[in-house]
Amino acid sequence: MLERSKREDSTAHKSYAMMAFSYVGAMLASNQALQYVSYPTQVLGKSIKPIPVMILGVLYAHKKYPLKKYAFVLMITLGVALFMFKDRKGGLDSDHLVGWGEVLLIVSLLLDGMTGAVQERARSENRTQAYHMMINMNIWAVLYLGVALLVTGEGYNFVLFSFRFPSVFFQMFTFSIMSAIGQVFIFVTVTTFGPLTCSIITTTRKFFTILASVVIFQHPMSSRQWMGTLLVFVGLSLDSLYGKERKTLQKPVQK
């Protein structure tokens, strides 16, 4: 009981409220962006997620990273972007460089960075536990989304939709189970290794999924994609070997 009380979560509820708000806002902005940009563009834009997580972690959570860490994260991010980038055929898709879709992706990335920064600060100041963070963030997220459903009227539309297609309940149930299992690993990673490591894992996960598809189904790879692959593997290898901040042991003072 004594050990359990020592590990009791002391994170303020306002911190969880901020985490959930930025987390939900990032998802909404990212999904809304699909109305203006293609899915590959959205995936490419979100591939630089570790960068705002790192920057806002430094500015808000006062996290310090070794200089090598910045280089390794940039290398991984550039590699993923190069690998996922698709050449446009027949010119640009539209006559603008930055539109509402791109603005929404920027907002989503900034909110991702804020989520990581608040998580990093709570983790360092309060030793927040994985399951405490998971349940509290989800409670606040449900509150935010519940209010949004009532205000926008989408809750009523969903009820009508579910009566027309009752099979959606089974799909939602299975999706929720898989999502909950995935969240366990995400929150354990955040509280154990930090939000930056978690963002690197979730970003490179997309890369390895596509790479496995390329290898299994023998899809041809361009020289740009091979360069991106090399950057990702070199960046991950160097980060695992040299990217961690080494703590220096203080020698005892001799009297």
| DSSP string covering the chain | -HHHHHT-----HHHHHHHHHHHHHHHHHHHHHTTTS-HHHHHHHHTTTHHHHHHHHHHTS-----HHHHHHHHHHHHHHHHHH--PPTTS-SSS-SS-HHHHHHHHHHHHHHHHHHHHHHHHHHH---HHHHHHHHHHHHHHHHHHHHHHHSHHHHHHHHHHH-TTHHHHHHHHHHHHHHHHHHHHHHHHHH-HHHHHHHHHHHHHHHHHHHHHHHT----HHHHHHHHHHHHHHHHHHHH-SPPPPPPPPPP-
pLDDT digits (tens, 9 = 90+) for 190-225: 999 999 889 888 888 877 877 787 788 777 778 888
**Tokens found for residue 127:** 């030793």
**Tokens found for residue 98:** 């930055």
- The residues, ordered by sequence, that sit 6+ positions from 89 with a Cβ below 8 Å of its Cβ are none
**Tokens found for residue 40:** 């590959």
Q: Residue ranges of the domains in the chain?
A: 13-87+95-241
**Average of per-residue pLDDT across 157-161:** 90
Residue 115: its pLDDT value, please?
95
C-beta separation of 228 from 79 below 8 A: yes
- Say whether pTM exceeds 0.85: no
For residue 242, is pLDDT > 80? Answer: no
Q: What percent of the chain has pLDDT over 70?
A: 86
Q: How confident is the model at residue 128 (pLDDT cuts 50, 70, 90)?
A: confident
Q: What is the mean pLDDT of the chain?
A: 83
Residue 3: its pLDDT value, please?
40
- The residues, ordered by sequence, that sit 6+ positions from 69 with a Cβ below 8 Å of its Cβ are 54, 239, 243, 245
C-beta separation of 206 from 43 below 8 A: yes
For residue 247, is pLDDT > 60? Answer: no
